[in-house]
Chain A
Amino acid sequence: AQSVTQLGSHVSVSEGALVLLRCNYSSSVPPYLFWYVQYPNQGLQLLLKYTSAATLVKGINGFEAEFKKSETSFHLTKPSAHMSDAAEYFCAVSSNFGNEKLTFGTGTRLTIIP
C-alpha cells in the first residue's frame, strides 16, 4: 500500500521568499513521486516527477524537489515566490509496475503575501 502525507494544509509566504511545501510518502516498493499544481476551477498540471533517476528534480516555473529515501520525503521548493504561484499543490505517489494509479495527498494551499 502507498500513501502520502502533506504537512500543512495552508502555507503563506511573502512574495520573493522561499517556498517550501512538505511531502512524506510511504511505499512498500520503489516509488515514483510527483507534484501537481491546481489553479482555481482547473484540473491538475504536472510540476515535476521523480522516476528513480536523479534525486534532485527540476520542474516548471522554477520549482524543484529532492527525493530523500532515508527520510521518505519529497519536499517541493522554489527560491523566490511569485504572486502567480498561489494555488493548491498536491504530492502523489505511484509504483513503477502494475497498476500505475496515483495516490494523492490532501493538498497544500499556497498563499503569496504581496
Chain B
Amino acid sequence: ETGVTQSPTHLIKTRGQQVTLRCSSQSGHNTVSWYQQALGQGPQFIFQYYREEENGRGNFPPRFSGLQFPNYSSELNVNALELDDSALYLCASSDPIAKNIQYFGAGTRLSVL
C-alpha cells in the first residue's frame, strides 16, 4: 500500500506566475485536503475535495483552486503568485470510514521570487 505522494518536491517561481502542485492519495482514500504551511507556522487549511467536489474551503482567495480526478488524485493551482505564497504545501488523504484521520504527504516547497 503506497502512501500519499506529492510532486514536485521543490519549485521556484516568480511573482505573477501560475503553479500546479500534484497529489496522489493513499490507496482506498477518496478525500483529499490541502494545507499551506508558512515557515515557522502550523499548517493552514486551504480546501478539501471529496468525490471530485470541493467539500469546504479555508480563508484563501479564489486564485487558489483545485481539482480532484476520478482516481482521487488531486491538483492545487495557484494563479498570480505572490511572495507570501512561499510555503510548504501539504496534501493529506483520508478514507471513507475515518474521514477525520488524515495522512500527509511529504509536501511541495514553493519559493516565489
Report A's interface with B, CB cutoff 8 A: 32, 34, 36, 42-46, 49, 51, 90, 92, 94-96, 98-107
Q: How far is the CB of B108 from chain A (nearest CB, A)?
A: 10
Is the Cβ of A43 less than 8 Å from the Cβ of B56? Answer: no
Is the Cβ of B106 less than 8 Å from the Cβ of A43? Answer: yes
Is the Cβ of A101 less than 8 Å from the Cβ of B33? Answer: yes
- Kindly list the 3 A-B residue pairs having the minimum CB-CB distance in the complex, ordered from nearest: A99-B56, A104-B42, A44-B104
Q: List 7 A-B contacts (CB under 8 A).
A: A34-B101, A42-B106, A43-B106, A46-B103, A92-B42, A100-B102, A106-B42
Residue among A44, A94, A104 facing the most chain B CB atoms (10 A cut-off): A44
Q: Within the complex, which residue of B40, B48, B101, B107 is in contact with A43, where a contact is CB–CB below 8 Å? A: B107
Is the Cβ of A43 less than 8 Å from the Cβ of B104? Answer: yes
Residue of chain B at shortest CB distance from A107:
B42
Complex Cα–Cα for A66 and B43 (A): 23
Complex Cα–Cα for A74 and B70 (A): 37
Which residues of the partner chain A approach B99 to less than 8 Å between Cβ atoms? 100
Which residues of the partner chain A approach B105 to less than 8 Å between Cβ atoms? 43
**B41 lies within 8 A of chain A by Cβ:** yes
Q: Within the complex, which residue of A44, A51, A99 is in contact with B48, where a contact is CB–CB below 8 Å? A: A99
Residue of chain A at shortest CB distance from B10:
A41
- Number of B interface residues at 8 Å Cβ cutoff, please give it: 28
Q: How far is the CB of A103 from chain B (nearest CB, A)?
A: 7
Q: Kindly list 10 other residue pairs between chains A and B, CB separation below 8 angstroms, not including A43-B105, A46-B104, A102-B92.
A: A43-B90, A43-B107, A46-B102, A95-B100, A100-B31, A100-B48, A100-B100, A100-B102, A102-B33, A106-B42
Residue of chain B at shortest CB distance from A42:
B106
Residue of chain A at shortest CB distance from B99:
A100
Q: How far is the CB of B98 from chain A (nearest CB, A)?
A: 8
Is the Cβ of A104 less than 8 Å from the Cβ of B43? Answer: yes
**Contact A36 to B101, CB < 8 A, known contacts A99-B55, A101-B56, A102-B33:** no
Which residues of the partner chain B approach A49 to less than 8 Å between Cβ atoms? 100-101
Which residues of the partner chain B approach A101 to less than 8 Å between Cβ atoms? 33, 45, 48, 56, 58
**B74 lies within 8 A of chain A by Cβ:** no
